[in-house]
Amino acid sequence: MASILDHFFPWTADAPVPGVDGLMLPKTLGKGTDSLHAAMLQVGYKKHEILYIQDYVRVSGVREQDAVLHLGIGEHDRIAAALALWKGVPWLPIQGGKSLDVRYLRPYAVPLQPGESHSSSVPLATSSKGILYAVSSLDAFQKQNIQTHLMMDIVGKIADAEQQIQRWPAAERTFSDALFSLNLLPENVLRYLREQLDLQQASGIDTNLADLAWREGEISAPVLFRILQAIDESSVSDDLRRDPFVQLGNRATLELPDIHLAITSTGTVESLYQRNIRDTGRAFVEACLLETEDRYNTIINRMLIHAAYQGYSDIHMSPLPMAGLIERRKDGVKGLLRAFPIQEYIRLVGIILNRMGNVDTRLQAEGRIPEDQLPPELAGRFEFRVQYMSVVQGNGETGTLTLRVLNLMNETAVLETLGFEPQDLSYIRKVLHTGKGLVLTTGATGSGKTTTIYAMMRAIDSIQTSVQSVENPVEIRVGLWRQHQLLREKSEAVEWGDWNKGLLRNDPDVVLQGEVRNADLFEQVADMANTGHLVFTTFHASSAVLAIGRLRQMRTTHGDALDIDMIASLMHCIIAQGLARRLCPYCALPDDRDETRRFLAALPEDLRKAATPKRACDTGCPHCSETGYTGRFLVYEILRFTQEIRDKIVAGSALSEIENTLTEENTKIGKLRRHIALGETSLEEAYRLSGEIL
């Protein structure tokens, strides 16, 4: 089967349109194809799938992207790629949009209109070739709306600023003086920028302050250019000079730059807009500083919006003797969001519990925040699972609260874009066509197991195949699948068993069996696979071989061991995976430490000699939010159950002997070595993902 990526090539700086890393250009760029139907066939849709989508569009009146969401046919990435081929415009895959920072383009964003809670466009990049916007649809009004905004709002503001600058005596003035005296930024914004830089006073040409004002989107490029030009033109950066408004501003009249559109998923546009244009982080901080009666509800709403669109997997709330901490988990790592005085913390926890309804909080409580208790930006798009537990630090007044953030927008990435190597991708596709057996995905919480399994299952034809699931909870909703969620009224094993009995009478072909936590559940999973179904499930183990070790040790409630012989005969493969944080390309530092060189010593000589390892900058930079990392990528190993592997398992061979069947370059550690040698991630990430001192 041809890959969707065969019809695209990566954007580079010499392309005819502005762009960003991760943007894909169609081979039909500027030309398009005869029809959407033809483009959908090119990216892998089957004729009967297209018929379902087109008929749904006809009777419902929704767009093709929404039809894919409602039906669960294919992925958002795939339909977006088809639209890009059809119209001959760039395509931004979901993975490519996850770590973009476009705050500096805030002045060019089309603002939400009264009553709107979701944006349909967001600026992505600028260059001398124009401005590129990411859009979720390619209707005739998109470009017109953008042009109207730029002409009426941006061009007008630039013209006003130009007139002020011409009247402004620049001699012996500072940059911050210019911003204030020209009334371009209010004092509170200037104070915020100075606090960001830990500056008490800006003196002379403070290029750090100027750059931050631009990067934060507080001032548009042409206005900043004119101010710096008036004070000291040598302080103007190359990035600033490339802005199309700066380029066109040198003409007699200020014209609109060329506007280019790139198609992407609805969720990507919304995330980029909320994260960068609305700046959910600053909105949360501003809510914390409010003194109004309803400030606590505002804090919670803005915290939830910030968590959802920043890509946090969890929010942790923990009491201490004199304060309460709110922490967030992103890319697998926890960090501080904000601390509150203990009485304010108790109030915030109480409001969240009240939104859940009647819950008993004497020991613990769990549930979710009802949709009608969420802000409009999140309703129907995100869900928040809540786990409350009493702790001694709460002194009987409060406890810990964990919010799990679930994205309901169903935007599963295309399997080809997850990061599997071509030979492994080919193997996975063969497994998907077998129609029976067992696929086990293992890894820590937040390692991307669910994303991988859903991407694999979305590659299965859900029209000609009955795809069903039993999950706890359902994390991604897929239209044509039959998805069942545990009611949690009995023990997990008993309730799962009841669901599975009903499932077998429901005529499934492909089954997703949530997360397996004990031997009783695994017995049911094996029985399902043994009755002619293709079964997917997830498991907790740090490597594929250790997953086998765990299965050997597991015992049912009756004390019986699992039938390892049967499991080995049913198993196609075990995929063990993690997500490594990618080093920030702007601030990563060369890594010449001895321990790094020792870690890379196992590489082949040619790779070792060409290695350019790097480490994270301790202080980070604005591009990576001072973390040293930006985004994550897949690191995995696949243990294929060949006859040799099955024989070793049945014979009770040592785990080390089974592990030796994997070549070093095909293990997670081997892949990490190569990524470190290429300067893509750090030795510290290898420690974190492997759980070993290497």
Q: For 324-357, how does the pLDDT look when each residue is reduced to its tens digit (9 = 90+)?
A: 999 999 888 899 999 999 999 999 999 999 888 7
Give the pLDDT score at 500. Answer: 80
- Phi then psi for residue 20, to 5 deg, are -140, 160
Q: How would residue 411 be classed by pLDDT, with cut points 50, 70 and 90?
A: low
Residues 149 and 248 in one domain: yes
The DSSP code for 639 is E
Give the pLDDT score at 118. Answer: 82
Is there a contact between 246 and 227 (Cβ–Cβ < 8 Å)?
Answer: no
Chain CA centroid to CA 377, Å:
18
DSSP E strand boundaries for 302-443: 314-319, 323-330, 333-341, 364-368, 382-390, 399-407, 437-442
Tens digit of pLDDT for each residue in 642-690? 999 999 999 999 999 999 999 888 999 999 999 999 999 999 999 988 8
Residues 162 and 123 in one domain: yes
Residues 395 and 443 in one domain: no
What is the token pair recorded at 620?
Answer: 């980070």
Give the pLDDT score at 191. Answer: 65
Q: How would residue 58 be classed by pLDDT, with cut points 50, 70 and 90?
A: very high
Give the pLDDT score at 608. Answer: 87
Lowest mean pLDDT across 238-247, 287-296, 308-317: 238-247
Lowest mean pLDDT across 226-235, 465-474, 612-621: 226-235
Give the pLDDT score at 201. Answer: 45
Give the pLDDT score at 254. Answer: 59
Task: Work out how many domains the chain is built from and give that number.
Answer: 5
Is there a contact between 106 and 42 (Cβ–Cβ < 8 Å)?
Answer: no
Range of the domain at 667: 585-627+663-693
Residues 330 and 446 in one domain: no
Residues 621 and 639 in one domain: no
- Phi then psi for residue 119, to 5 deg, are -95, 155
From 277, 300, 333, give the residue that closes a domain.
277
At a CB cut-off of 8 Å and minimum separation 6, what does 268 contact?
92, 94, 97, 134, 136, 411
Q: How would residue 140 be classed by pLDDT, with cut points 50, 70 and 90?
A: confident
Q: How would residue 205 be classed by pLDDT, with cut points 50, 70 and 90?
A: very low
At a CB cut-off of 8 Å and minimum separation 6, what does 270 contact?
118, 119, 309, 381, 409
What is the token pair recorded at 286?
Answer: 């501003």
Percent over 90 (pLDDT), the chain: 48
**CA dist., res. 61 & res. 69, Å (int):** 14
Q: Is residue 78 situated within a structural domain?
A: yes
Mean pLDDT calculated for residue range 215-238:
78
Give strand pairing partners of 387.
Answer: 366, 402
Residues 667 and 657 in one domain: no
């009802």: which residue's tokens? 370
Q: What is the DSSP string of 259-286?
A: EEEEE--HHHHHHHIIIIIS-HHHHHHH
Amino acid letter, 414? V
Chain CA centroid to CA 26, Å:
23
Residues 560 and 601 in one domain: no
Residues 491 and 555 in one domain: yes
Tens digit of pLDDT for each residue in 377-402? 898 889 899 999 888 887 778 889 99
Q: Is residue 416 situated within a structural domain?
A: no
At a CB cut-off of 8 Å and minimum separation 6, what does 335 contact?
327, 328, 329, 627
Rg of the chain in Å (alpha carbons): 27
Q: How would residue 408 be classed by pLDDT, with cut points 50, 70 and 90?
A: confident
Is there a contact between 33 and 85 (Cβ–Cβ < 8 Å)?
Answer: yes
Is 288 a residue whose pLDDT tops 90?
yes
**CA dist., res. 314 & res. 335, Å (int):** 11
Mean pLDDT calculated for residue range 70-99:
90
**CA dist., res. 553 & res. 551, Å (int):** 5
Is there a contact between 245 and 220 (Cβ–Cβ < 8 Å)?
Answer: yes
- Among candidate residues 324, 475, 333, 490, the one with its CA nearest the CA of residue 405: 475
Strands 333-341 and 323-330: antiparallel
Q: How would residue 195 be classed by pLDDT, with cut points 50, 70 and 90?
A: low
**CA dist., res. 215 & res. 219, Å (int):** 9
Give the pLDDT score at 180. Answer: 67
Q: How would residue 626 be classed by pLDDT, with cut points 50, 70 and 90?
A: confident
Q: Which residue has the higher pLDDT, 144 or 571?
A: 571
From 41, 61, 94, give the residue that closes a domain.
94
Q: How would residue 204 be classed by pLDDT, with cut points 50, 70 and 90?
A: very low
CATH number at residue 370: 3.30.450.90
Q: Is residue 600 situated within a structural domain?
A: yes
Is 359 a residue whose pLDDT tops 80?
no
Is 202 a residue whose pLDDT tops 60?
no
Is there a contact between 379 and 372 (Cβ–Cβ < 8 Å)?
Answer: yes
Q: Is residue 4 situated within a structural domain?
A: no
Is there a contact between 355 and 369 (Cβ–Cβ < 8 Å)?
Answer: yes
Is 251 a residue whose pLDDT tops 60?
no
**CA dist., res. 538 & res. 450, Å (int):** 8
Is 35 a residue whose pLDDT tops 90?
yes
Residues 557 and 610 in one domain: no
**CA dist., res. 521 & res. 502, Å (int):** 15
At a CB cut-off of 8 Å and minimum separation 6, what does 464 contact?
48
Q: Quote the mean pLDDT of the chain.
A: 86
> Which phi-psi region, left, alpha or beta, contains residue 381 (left: φ > 0; alpha: ψ -120 to 50)?
alpha
Residues 326 and 451 in one domain: no
Torsion over CA: 368, 372, 375, 378 (sign): positive
**CA dist., res. 369 & res. 257, Å (int):** 45
From 32, 59, 94, give the residue that closes a domain.
94
Q: How would residue 124 be classed by pLDDT, with cut points 50, 70 and 90?
A: very high
Which pTM does this prediction carry?
A: 0.78
Give the pLDDT score at 200. Answer: 41
At a CB cut-off of 8 Å and minimum separation 6, what does 517 contact?
492, 540
Judge if the upstream peptide bond of residue 473 is cis by omega within 30 degrees of 0.
yes
Q: Is residue 269 situated within a structural domain?
A: yes
Q: Is residue 296 situated within a structural domain?
A: no
Q: How would residue 314 be classed by pLDDT, with cut points 50, 70 and 90?
A: very high
- Phi then psi for residue 348, to 5 deg, are -65, -45
Q: Which residue has the higher pLDDT, 163 or 278?
A: 278
Mean pLDDT calculated for residue range 67-88:
90
**CA dist., res. 630 & res. 167, Å (int):** 42
**Could you give the angle at the alpha carbon of 307 between the alpha carbons of 348 and 625, nearest 5°?**
120
Q: Is residue 2 situated within a structural domain?
A: no
Is there a contact between 614 and 679 (Cβ–Cβ < 8 Å)?
Answer: yes
What 3 state SS string does 582-623 have?
A: EECCCCCEECCCHHHHHHHCCCCHHHHHCCCCEECCCCCCHH
Is 85 a residue whose pLDDT tops 90?
yes
Tens digit of pLDDT for each residue in 9-27? 999 999 999 999 999 999 9
Give the pLDDT score at 252. Answer: 45
Beta-carbon count within 10 A of 363 CB: 9
**CA dist., res. 516 & res. 527, Å (int):** 13
At a CB cut-off of 8 Å and minimum separation 6, what does 177 contact?
none
Is there a contact between 52 and 73 (Cβ–Cβ < 8 Å)?
Answer: yes
**CA dist., res. 576 & res. 544, Å (int):** 5
Q: Is residue 1 situated within a structural domain?
A: no
Residues 49 and 137 in one domain: no
Is there a contact between 361 and 313 (Cβ–Cβ < 8 Å)?
Answer: no
Residues 255 and 196 in one domain: yes
